[in-house]
């Protein structure tokens, strides 16, 4: 069952993402600040479509697949599946996914996902806490008429810095539609801070968020980008950060490149903030230049 979920789709278009660990958002700024990545808390990414949920836990090196037949768990820092798919969590704080097929059914080919998720810097630094995603490629191989939507949730718990009564939560998203697409692509993106430190905390007490990003009507061969911010209270620790991304594509269409980021920043000079919010757009351009597709 699981091998079928992750197999390469015959006749579909497959894309190889080189393992460029280029930061999607703010990691350039973090490097300048001398950020270090200590022991992990619980860094996870989850993909959902067509009644199937695939959860990758980069902390305990575990993949869990849940669908109508039940739940199956696979353990290991490098898990390879039939058809050339793999999930790699061998590098602390990073999750790399290649040729992952989510939501395949008897008459439904599901979504194919390749991504590098370039982790959070949990527990954070006095100036910034961040999670991000880069090198994102998604193809709708479902064969179902109309648009299908893949949901991706990325989150980490245990942040203790920055700890400020006034901080800025920033979310950013950049997406490019493949030039061969027959329909437009749509992306929504939300960033959350949870003072209760729940994994994937998006509702309930202690939740604070940025305004939603909506990148709709992305035509073939074009890109769209946006960022949003909100003032939040980060005085209660530990807290978690979560980002939720929904990508809608027609069958056969592909999001050829995407990057996203969620960052909590202590008060900083406006010029520094502006420079950092430009990073994901530069990162998206870099990834588009470096990526290549093979038949």
| pLDDT score of 93 | 80
Higher model confidence: residue 274 or residue 231? Answer: 231
pLDDT grade for 268, boundaries at 50, 70 and 90:
low
Label residues 234-265 b or e (16+ Cβ within 10 Å = b). Answer: beeebbbbbbbbebbbbbbbbbbbbbbbbbbb
Residue 12 has pLDDT above 50, yes or no: no
Phi, psi of 4 (to 5 degrees): -70, -35
**What mean pLDDT value characterizes the chain?**
81
Q: What is the pLDDT of residue 1?
A: 39
Does pLDDT of 274 surpass 60?
Answer: no
Question: What pLDDT does residue 128 have?
Answer: 96
pLDDT of residue 275: 52
For 240, residues 6+ apart whose C-beta sits below 8 A from its C-beta are: 155, 156, 157, 158, 159, 193, 194, 196, 197, 198, 199, 200, 201
Q: Phi/psi at 252 (nearest 5 deg)?
A: 90, -10
pLDDT tens across 256-266, in order? 999 999 999 99
pLDDT tens sequence across 183-238: 999 999 999 999 999 999 999 988 999 999 999 999 999 999 999 999 999 999 99
Q: Compute the distance between CA of residue 263 and CA of residue 242 in angstroms, rounded to an integer.
A: 10
| pLDDT for residue 19 is more than 90 | no
At residue 163, the pLDDT reads 97
**Half-sphere exposure (Cβ direction) of 63: Cα atoms closer than 13 Å:** 26
Residue 170's closest CA among 238, 227, 214? 227
The mean pLDDT value for 179-183 works out to 97
pLDDT for position 3: 38
- 98: pLDDT strictly greater than 60: yes
Judged by average pLDDT, the poorest of 18-32, 112-126, 147-161 is 18-32
Please tell me whether the overall predicted TM-score, pTM, comes out greater than 0.75 for this model: yes
Of 29-33, 79-83, 123-127, give the lowest mean pLDDT range. 29-33
pLDDT at 155: 95
Residues 6+ apart with CB under 8 A from 150: 47, 48, 49, 102, 103, 111, 113, 138, 140, 246, 247, 249
Separation between Cα atoms, residue 8 and residue 17, nearest integer Å: 15
What distances in angstroms separate CA 59 from CA 53, 89, 90, 184, 256, one per listed residue? 18, 8, 10, 36, 28
Q: What's the pLDDT band for 294 if we cut at 50, 70, 90?
A: very low
Of residues 9 and 227, more confidence is placed in 227
- Domain count of the fold of the chain: 1
Domain hosting residue 82, numbered range:
2-293
Cis peptide leading into residue 196 (ω within 30°)? no
The pLDDT of residue 270 is 55
Per-residue pLDDT at 211: 98
- Higher pLDDT among residues 205 and 119, named by residue: 205
Q: What are phi and psi of 6, to 5 degrees?
A: -110, 5
The neighbour count for residue 27, using CB atoms within 10 Å, is 25
């Amino acid at each position: 069952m699981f091998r079928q979920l992750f197999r390469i789709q015959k006749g579909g278009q497959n894309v190889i993402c080189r393992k460029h660990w280029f930061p999607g958002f703010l990691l350039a700024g973090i490097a300048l600040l001398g950020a270090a990545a200590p022991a992990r808390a619980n860094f996870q990414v989850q993909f959902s479509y067509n009644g199937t949920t695939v959860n990758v836990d980069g902390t305990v090196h575990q993949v869990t697949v849940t669908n109508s037949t039940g739940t199956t768990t696979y353990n290991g820092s490098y898990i390879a599946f039939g058809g050339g798919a793999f999930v790699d969590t061998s590098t602390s704080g990073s999750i790399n996914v290649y040729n992952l097929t989510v939501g395949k059914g008897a008459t439904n080919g599901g979504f194919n996902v390749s991504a590098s998720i370039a982790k959070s810097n949990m527990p954070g630094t006095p100036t910034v806490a961040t999670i991000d995603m880069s090198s994102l490629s998604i193809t709708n191989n479902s064969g179902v008429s109309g648009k299908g939507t893949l949901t991706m949730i990325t989150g980490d718990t245990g942040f203790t810095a920055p700890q400020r009564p006034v901080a800025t939560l920033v979310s950013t998203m950049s997406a490019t539609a493949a030039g061969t697409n027959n329909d437009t692509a749509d992306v929504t993106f939300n960033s959350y801070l949870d003072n209760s430190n729940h994994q994937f905390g998006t509702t309930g007490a202690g939740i604070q968020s940025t305004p939603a990003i909506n990148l709709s009507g992305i035509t073939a061969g074009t890109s769209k980008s946006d960022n949003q911010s909100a003032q939040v209270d980060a005085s209660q620790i530990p807290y978690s950060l979560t980002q939720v991304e929904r990508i809608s594509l027609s069958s056969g269409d592909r999001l050829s490149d995407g990057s996203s980021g969620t960052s909590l920043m202590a008060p900083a000079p406006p010029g520094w903030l502006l420079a950092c919010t430009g990073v994901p757009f530069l990162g998206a351009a870099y990834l588009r230049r470096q990526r290549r597709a093979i038949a």
